[in-house]
Amino acid sequence: MTAPRVVLVGPMGVGKSTVGALVAERLGCVYRDTDDDIVAAQGRTIADIFVDEGEPAFRAIEKQAVHKALAEHEGVLALGGGAILDEDTRTLLAAHLVVYLSMDVEEAVKRTGLNTARPLLAVNPRRQWRELMDARRHLYTEVAGAVVATDGRTPEEVAQAVLDAL
Ligand code: S3P
């Protein structure tokens, strides 16, 4: 059975892509991101999928993409921030080495700003961030074998902390 060397979870904007690419480079393996898989397979942006079909349809597409990547990828894999909302996915993640990249709400607001390309932050980013984090923090923790705080750290420092946690 193939399996990713490490799976990165955490909220959008925490740096999964940047850190994941650095970790993959250090491990000499390939980086993959389930958001990219979805965009490639669907031929449209994630924001467009939300607008065209709504969040539940996006979550179904996401679940399929995540399960496929978990089954076939052998490098570093980053999941979209909401992938852990799915119970089957959380169950599957129990068999993998999962690292949760965390950040606090103020750091999240600072990093993503008023970026309306992110469909879940389009109205009131600070309030929406607080609600998202309150709803998800325990799910990230549940699936993770290690937690790496990213607040005030460079991507290189975070990548090193991930490698140290493996
Ligand atoms: C989402 C996170 C995004 C993307 C979508 C929904 C979420 O992925 O899947 O906008 O629910 O947190 P990133 O975490 O890669 O930005």
pLDDT digits (tens, 9 = 90+) for 43-81: 999 999 999 999 999 999 999 999 999 999 999 999 999
pLDDT digit string, tens, across residues 14-50: 999 999 999 999 999 999 999 999 999 999 999 999 9
Q: Which pLDDT belongs to residue 110?
A: 85
Domain that residue 85 falls in? 6-165
- Dist CA 162 CA 166 (whole Å): 7
Q: How many domains would you assign to the chain?
A: 1
Instruction: Tell me whether residue 117 is in a domain.
Output: yes
Helix segments in 95-124, DSSP class H: 105-112
3-class secondary structure, 115 = coil
Q: What is the CATH number of the domain that holds 89?
A: 3.40.50.300
Instruction: Tell me whether residue 30 is in a domain.
Output: yes
Instruction: Tell me whether residue 124 is in a domain.
Output: yes
Instruction: Tell me whether residue 44 is in a domain.
Output: yes
5 annotated to bind ligand:
no
ipTM above 0.85, yes or no: yes
Dihedral (CA of 102, 4, 50, 48) sign: positive
3-class secondary structure, 104 = coil
Instruction: Tell me whether residue 70 is in a domain.
Output: yes
pTM (two decimals): 0.94
Q: Which pLDDT belongs to residue 114?
A: 61
Nearest atom in ligand 1 to the alpha carbon of residue 119 is 10
Instruction: Tell me whether residue 155 is in a domain.
Output: yes
Q: Whose Cα sits closest to atom 15 in ligand 1?
A: 80
32 annotated to bind ligand:
no
* Cα Rg of the chain (Å, integer): 15
Instruction: Tell me whether residue 1 is in a domain.
Output: no
Instruction: Tell me whether residue 135 is in a domain.
Output: yes
Copy the structure tokens of residue 78: 């980053």
Distance 105 CA to ligand 1 centre (A): 16
Please state whether 13 falls in left (phi above 0), alpha (psi between -120 and 50) or beta.
Answer: left
pLDDT digit string, tens, across residues 74-121: 999 999 999 999 999 999 999 999 999 999 998 888 888 765 567 677
List C-alpha distances in Å: 90 to 48, 51, 98, 140.
Answer: 26, 26, 11, 9
Distance 34 CA to ligand 1 centre (A): 10
